[in-house]
Amino acid sequence: MGIVDGYFSLEFLRLVMTPESVLSIMQETLQLISILIAAILLPALFIGLLVSMFQAATSINEQTLSFIPKLFITLLVLIVAGPWMLELMMDFARRLFEDIPFMIG
């Protein structure tokens, strides 16, 4: 490390990331994405199912009827769970950035 012949030695920049560590990071990323998406989509799917059952019971065949309730529930979930979702993403990003020095050998 240090200066060699007037140039900085870049030996310290060699990454010791193994394929296993990359796969582990990708697995954690996909798990986080799945949790965040499920938190948004599951309530919308449930409301869509309820509206569809109501449409089937009343013989209303309007395709756009389920759009507004799903939009409102999605916005409500984003308002209520948004801070939690942001905290999850921030913690994950912070942990990744804090692990960078340990990945450089």
Above 90 in pLDDT, residue 103?
A: no
Q: How confident is the model at residue 100 (pLDDT cuts 50, 70, 90)?
A: confident
Gap between the Cα atoms of 32 and 85, Å rounded: 9
Q: Average the pLDDT over 20-33 and give the result.
A: 91
Q: Are 9 and 1 in contact (CB under 8 A)?
A: yes
Query: Would you kindly state where each structural domain of the chain is located, as residue ranges?
Result: 43-99
- Report pLDDT digits (tens) over 31-88: 999 999 999 999 999 999 999 999 889 988 888 888 999 999 999 999 999 999 999 9
Gap between the Cα atoms of 48 and 68, Å rounded: 10
pLDDT at residue number 102: 79
Could you tell me how far CA 74 lies from the centroid of its own chain?
16
| 3-class DSSP state of 16 | coil
The pTM of this model reads 0.73
